[in-house]
Amino acid sequence: MLRVKPFPDIFLAAASALGVPPSECLVVEDAEKGILAAHAAGMRSVAIPNEHTRSNDFSKATAVIADLNALTVELVRKLGCSPLPGSVPAHTPVVPGSAG
C-alpha cells in the first residue's frame, strides 16, 4: 500500500516502474506536500505555486517558478537533469502532453 504525500512512495514507485534512479528524476509540483515527497525521494523538484498554494513553504524545492511557461529545457538542464528525449531548442517550454 502506497502512502500519500508527503511520503515519497508514489514518486519512488514511478521511478522504479520507469527504471530510472530517483536522483535522475525531476518532479513538478504545485503544493508543499509534493515538494516534501520529492525531497524525501531524493529527487530534484520544481515548485509552481498556484492561487491556493502560494503561502506554502517551498524551501525544499530545487527551484520555484511562476508558471509552466518558465519550465524550459534550459531550466531542466540547469537543474542538472536530462531533458526530454529528442532534440528540442533550449527555450522550448516543457509542457505535459506536448510533442518534444
In order along its 100 residues, the chain shows pLDDT tens digits of: 789 999 999 999 999 998 889 999 999 999 999 999 999 999 999 999 999 999 999 999 999 999 999 999 889 989 988 765 653 445 555 555 444 4
- pTM (predicted TM-score): 0.81
Q: How far apart are CA 87 and CA 100, in angstroms?
A: 7
CA distance 86 to 75: 16
Give the pLDDT score at 39: 98
pLDDT value of position 82: 76
Give me the CATH topology for the region 9-78: Rossmann fold (3.40.50)
Spell out the domain ranges in the chain: 9-78
91: Cβ contacts below 8 Å, ≥ 6 apart: 72, 73, 74
Q: What's the confidence (pLDDT) of residue 99?
A: 42
> What would the DSSP string read from start to end of 47-100?
E---TTTTTS--TTSSEE-SSGGG-BHHHHHHTT---SSS---TT-B--TT---
